[in-house]
Amino acid sequence: MRDRLKASRRAIKVALLDQRALAGVGNLYASEILHLCGIHPAHRCDRLTRGDWQAIVATMHDVLATAIRYEGSTLADGTYRNALNQAGGYQNHHRVYDRADEACLRCKAGRVVRIVQAQRSTFYCPTCQKK
């Protein structure tokens, strides 16, 4: 992943959504991954350190494995259903996604902010995800 994205001047959150570069990370999960890593979603790929990339990859594995365990996220629109036509449960574990104006669960000091990147909602904590 680092080899594919390290030279990009795009924001890391936008790059993570590029299915040509990396398949399987959706909008919701990209926000969650970056929050857990403490990386601002607008941080440019070409300015990330090797340690940042390692943290993103490790956290990506953890977040996606947890989301699979809870059978995905069913949001308020109810469009996502599992194979048994039941709601997923990972939405109960979101730390930033769809939590705008709520206290950050990581640092407890910041409030989650919603911005738009590449026509998609991005959620992050400006206190623990400094640019």
Q: Identify whether 102 is part of a domain.
A: no
Domain annotation covers residue 109: no
Among 94, 50, 54, residue whose Cα is nearest residue 76:
94
Residue with the two structure tokens 């730390």: 95
- Which residues span the domain enclosing 8? 2-93
Give the CATH number for residue 58: 1.10.8.50
Q: Half-sphere exposure (CA, 13 Å, Cβ side) for 89? A: 6
Q: Does 127 map to a domain?
A: no
What is the tens place of the pLDDT at every residue in 19-69? 999 888 999 999 999 999 999 999 999 999 999 999 999 999 999 999 999
Residue 105 lies in a domain: no
Q: Considering the domain boundaries, does residue 123 fall inside one?
A: no
| End-to-end Cα, the chain, rounded Å | 21
Residue 116 inside a domain? The answer is no
The pLDDT of residue 89: 87
Q: What gap in Å lies between CA 100 and CA 93, rounded to an integer?
A: 15
Our measurement of the distance from residue 131's CA atom to the centroid of its chain's CA atoms, rounded to an integer in Å, reads 16
16, 97 contact by CB (below 8 A)? no
Q: Over 90: is that where the pLDDT of 9 sits?
A: yes
H-state helical runs in the chain: 2-5, 12-16, 27-37, 50-69
| pLDDT score of 75 | 81
Is there a domain that residue 69 lies in?
Answer: yes
> For the chain, how many structural domains are there in total?
1
- Whether 98 is covered by a domain: the verdict is no
